[in-house]
Amino acid sequence: MNYFSLNKKAPNTTFKNAVIKGLAPDKGLYFPESITPLPDSFFKSIDSLSYSEIAFEAIKQFVTPDIPEAVLKDIIEDTLSFDFPVEKITDSISTLELFHGPTMAFKDVGARFMARCLGYFNQNNTNEVTVLVATSGDTGGAVANGFLGVEGVNVVILYPSGKVSDIQEKQLTTLKKNIKALEVHGTFDDCQAMVKRAFLDDTLTSKMQLTSANSINVARWLPQLFYFMFAYKQLHKSYDNIVFSVPSGNFGNICAGMMAQRLGLPVKHFIAANNANAIVYNYLQTQQYEPKPSVQTISNAMDVGDPSNFVRIQELHNNDFETLSKQLSGYSFTDEETIKAIEELYNEYNYIADPHGAVGYLACKSHLKTNPNDHCVFLETAHPTKFLDVVEDTIKENIDLPEQILKVMKKKKRSVEISTYEDLKAFLL
Ligand SMILES: *Cc1c(COP(=O)(O)O)cnc(C)c1O
């Protein structure tokens, strides 16, 4: 499959090149040249397919021939080494748990898939690729873990000092080998600005191949479409009108869900669940897309003021507001409402949700008021212990830390402190 730039000012390119470059030379996001729906028989026989078989059929057209089919099967097998269970909350609401991977956030699948693709492309290459990534918390851990030990790939993670949780910091600073953590004296926005500047810096890019590992990269974005198919496999016998409520920040996950729908997955509707950073919610009310500086919330992985994947969602709907607004609704909730939702889920349904999942739950409830015959699935995007303080304070119980977290908390933090772009450049060179 070839990819074009959504800015339309760069040449089309292969999957391999799109993965290695991350962003097109005209700064546009890459998008597949064509999308061929899967046959009806695929969805009718989904019960007889394993998760790996579903994933293979779903993503094959987007990555071959650059990744040969046999290699793709291995990559998928390796990527999907944990479960994606759906838990019933009420007759109308379920949750799809995406936190059973090594760093307990949904970004594990995309990061693992991308790492293995890049490792394959680079296996006979003497020039190393450097993955440069800024994180507000979850991305760094998932990328560090996914890329650990991948030959020919170095990973440099920038995170804001003192502004990620202890668990998140340990997840990104305790791996050795090809993973380096830079602790930036500044905010997440400062980290992101440094990364963006590095990609545009000729003295750097002439000396090294830099790429990004956030959801602008097609190899991190596309595998997320698996989740929606896995949920469908678990739910289609019980419910007809399945809608997904996706806690959204950069809108990569929900956009992948819409891609699954384009491939033929019978999904009735999508709901973008937002915290106070309500850019898309506002757009759906006013037709005006107005990026704003992000505001800090307790669901901090969704604190995004200009969601980068929204252009892909528009492209999937022919850049037509009417078409898009039939498929997508949005809701926005405050931290206060989110905390009440965590409380309600625990007290009434004995379910411990993290703040992101709780926002998804609230959006389900709003949607069901006017669509009582739908079955709404909210994505639980992180394990509640990743947001331990908020969750424990709210449910007034201690939560047992899972194995993955206990292991990492015992390890020693290693980071290099930096303050300026010049520090970053000196480190990379
Ligand atoms: C990254 C993240 C999100 C937002 O996902 P997008 O694809 O950026 O919309 C939501 N919840 C958690 C826990 C995350 O880590």
**Ligand 1 pocket at CB < 6 A:** 105, 107, 138, 215, 247-253, 301-302, 356, 381-382
Question: Among 16, 21, 107, 365, which one carries the catalytic annotation?
Answer: 107
State the Cα–Cα distance between residues 186 and 167, nearest whole angstrom. Answer: 19
Residue 118 domain flag = no
Asked if residue 142 has pLDDT above 80, the reply is yes
Closest Cα to atom 2 of ligand 1? 301
Q: Which atom of ligand 1 is nearest to the CA of 354?
A: 13
What CATH number does residue 360 fall under?
A: 3.40.50.1100
Asked if residue 166 has pLDDT above 90, the reply is no
State the Cα–Cα distance between residues 255 and 259, nearest whole angstrom. Answer: 6
- Measure Cα distances from 248 to 103, 107, 146, 177, 302 in Å: 19, 13, 22, 32, 6
Supply the range of the domain harboring residue 296.
83-104+221-399
C-alpha 280 – ligand 1 centre gap (Å): 15
Element (H or E) spanning 391, and its range? helix 388-395
Candidate of 29, 103, 104, 106 to mutate for ligand 1, largest count of ligand atoms within 8 Å of Cβ? 106
SS3 at position 84: coil
**Residue 43, C-beta contacts closer than 8 angstroms, at least 6 positions apart:** 232, 264, 265, 266
The percentage of residues in the chain with a pLDDT greater than 70, rounded to a whole number, is: 100
C-alpha 357 – ligand 1 centre gap (Å): 10
**Residue 180, C-beta contacts closer than 8 angstroms, at least 6 positions apart:** 154, 155, 156, 157, 416, 427
Judging by DSSP bridges, how do beta strands 86-88 and 93-97 pair with one another? antiparallel
SS3 at position 125: coil
Q: Which atom of ligand 1 is nearest to the CA of 386?
A: 13
Q: Which residue's structure tokens are 């851990």?
A: 141
Retrieve residue 107's tokens. 């970004």
Asked if residue 81 has pLDDT above 80, the reply is yes
C-alpha 134 – ligand 1 centre gap (Å): 14
Cα torsion 312, 364, 164, 101: sign: negative
State the Cα–Cα distance between residues 395 and 399, nearest whole angstrom. Answer: 10
Number of domains in the chain: 1
Closest Cα to atom 11 of ligand 1? 381
Asked if 156 and 178 count as a contact pair (C-beta separation under 8 A), the reply is: no
Residue 40: per-residue pLDDT = 96
181-225: per-residue pLDDT in tens?
A: 999 999 888 898 899 889 889 999 999 999 989 888 999 999 999
| Residues in the chain, total | 429
Residue 187: per-residue pLDDT = 85
C-alpha 82 – ligand 1 centre gap (Å): 19
Residue 174 domain flag = no
Residue 333: per-residue pLDDT = 98
Task: Based on the residue annotation, tell me whether 107 is a catalytic residue of this protein.
Answer: yes
C-alpha 224 – ligand 1 centre gap (Å): 11
Candidate of 139, 221, 246, 253 to mutate for ligand 1, largest count of ligand atoms within 8 Å of Cβ? 253
Q: Which atom of ligand 1 is nearest to the CA of 138?
A: 15
Instruction: Report the Cα 220 to chain-centroid distance in Å.
Output: 7
Residue 44 domain flag = no
Q: Which residue's structure tokens are 């990534």?
A: 133
Closest Cα to atom 8 of ligand 1? 250
Average pLDDT score over residue span 102-122: 94
Residue 329: per-residue pLDDT = 98
Beta strands in 98-226 (DSSP E): 129-134, 153-160, 179-184, 209-212
254 pLDDT band, cuts 50/70/90, is very high
4-30: per-residue pLDDT in tens?
A: 999 999 999 999 999 998 989 898 999
What is the rounded end-to-end Cα distance, in angstroms, of the chain? 34
Residue type, 36: T
Retrieve residue 388's tokens. 């331990």
Q: Which atom of ligand 1 is nearest to the CA of 137?
A: 15
Q: Which atom of ligand 1 is nearest to the CA of 249?
A: 9
Residue of 102, 80, 95 lying closest to 380 (CA atoms): 95
pTM: 0.95
Residue 238 domain flag = yes
87 pLDDT band, cuts 50/70/90, is very high
Average pLDDT score over residue span 322-341: 98
Average pLDDT score over residue span 275-291: 96
Asked if residue 126 has pLDDT above 80, the reply is no
Measured from the Cβ of residue 48, the count of other Cβ atoms closer than 10 Å reads 8
136 pLDDT band, cuts 50/70/90, is confident
Dihedral pair phi/psi, residue 321, rounded to 5°: -60, -45
Asked if residue 127 has pLDDT above 90, the reply is no
Residue 138: per-residue pLDDT = 84
Asked if residue 350 has pLDDT above 80, the reply is yes
Residue 369 domain flag = yes
Residue 176: per-residue pLDDT = 83
Q: Which residue's structure tokens are 């602008």?
A: 216
Asked if 102 and 404 count as a contact pair (C-beta separation under 8 A), the reply is: yes
Residue 404: per-residue pLDDT = 86
Retrieve residue 139's tokens. 């991305």
Residue 333 domain flag = yes
Residue 361 domain flag = yes
Candidate of 218, 302, 354, 361 to mutate for ligand 1, largest count of ligand atoms within 8 Å of Cβ? 302
Residue 215: per-residue pLDDT = 84
Element (H or E) spanning 116, and its range? helix 107-121
Average pLDDT score over residue span 159-187: 92
Average pLDDT score over residue span 56-85: 97
Residue 200: per-residue pLDDT = 85
Asked if residue 121 has pLDDT above 90, the reply is yes
C-alpha 249 – ligand 1 centre gap (Å): 5
C-alpha 250 – ligand 1 centre gap (Å): 7
- Measure Cα distances from 10 to 4, 30, 68, 129, 198 in Å: 8, 10, 26, 22, 20
Residue 45: per-residue pLDDT = 96
376 pLDDT band, cuts 50/70/90, is very high
Average pLDDT of every residue of the chain: 95
